[in-house]
Structures are given as structure tokens and as C-alpha cells.
Amino acid sequence: MAMGAQSSRRGRRRMMSEINVVPYIDVTLVLLIIFMVTAPMIVTGSIDLPRVGQSSQQNVAAVEVIIRKDGSHAVRKREQGAEEKQVTRSELVAAVQAMQADASAPVIILAERDVRYDNVVQALNLLQSQGIARVGLAVRQE
């Protein structure tokens, strides 16, 4: 009986606790080949950007709003030799609308470097809330 118990233990198989990775390697290689074959076939998109001189719109004279660090505001047309008109914040919208030749004319805010950001945002918000849609900020490229 002791012999029979030992022989039955030897005949049993132990569970294998290893993972067979060969199928995973096969799948990976097949995917690699598929991507290598299809990658050159992908067409990259190109964007046709407009060139200078192709614009059909005429340039509309912009209106500049100047904000100085002392809190004063001025308005002028963006033309050579245009004069500045000093205005208060409450007069700003009326002065801009009076200088706009067209309702779609852009308004550019020029602020000195040391002006508080809050003053610029308030002027921007005031102009946009009164229906002036095209308002932008000027920057100096260095």
C-alpha cells in the first residue's frame, strides 16, 4: 500500500505556472508588418494658405485705443499722421463708434508695458459689450 501511494504521486502531473509568450510575439510581428505596409500609403493633408495680395477685401482703417499706465485713454485712426483724441473710459465706446467708418472695422487696443492687465480687460469687455465685434490686442514682436 505504501508503494502504491508513491507511484500514484509520481504519475500525476504538476500544473505549469509559466505563460507561453510565443503567440503574443507572433501577433506583435503581424501587426508590425501591417503598420509598415500601410504607413507609406497614408496621404498627409496639405493646407492651402492664402498669399499676400490675394485678399478680396479692401483694407478698412482700424481704430486704435491707447491705454497708458496712468489710466488715461486715447483714440485715433490707424493712419499715418492721425491725431489722438483723449477720452475718458465712459466716452470710449462713443469715440470709437464715431471714428469707425464701417461697423466691421477692427479696433486694436494698444497698452503700455506697465499697464495693469485689469485695465486692458475692462476696456476690451466694455467695447465688446457695446457690440463692437472685432477687437484685438496689439503686440510688439521682438
Residue 51 within any structural domain of the chain: no
Worst-scoring range by mean pLDDT, 7-16, 19-28, 49-58, 62-71? Answer: 49-58
pLDDT digits (tens, 9 = 90+) for 105-126: 889 898 888 888 888 899 989 9
| Cβ proximity of 70 and 86 under 8 Å | no
Higher-confidence residue of 1 and 25: namely 25
Domain that holds residue 78: 63-137
Residue 106 within any structural domain of the chain: yes
What pLDDT score was predicted for residue 24? 93
What pLDDT score was predicted for residue 31? 96
The CA distance from 69 to 71, in Å, is 5
Residue 49 within any structural domain of the chain: no
Residue 55 within any structural domain of the chain: no
* Count of structural domains within the chain: 1
* Confidence check: pLDDT of 30 > 90: yes
Residue type, 16: M
The CA distance from 77 to 82, in Å, is 6
Residue 57 within any structural domain of the chain: no
pLDDT digits (tens, 9 = 90+) for 40-98: 888 776 766 666 665 555 666 788 999 988 888 999 888 777 788 899 888 888 888 88
Q: How confident is the model at residue 37 (pLDDT cuts 50, 70, 90)?
A: very high
Residue 41 within any structural domain of the chain: no
Q: How far is the first Cα of the chain from the last one, in angstroms, to the nearest whole number? A: 97
With 0-12 / 13-18 / 19 or more C-beta atoms within 10 angstroms meaning exposed / middle / buried, residue 51 is: exposed
Residue 23 within any structural domain of the chain: no
Tell me the CATH number at 109.
Answer: 3.30.420.270
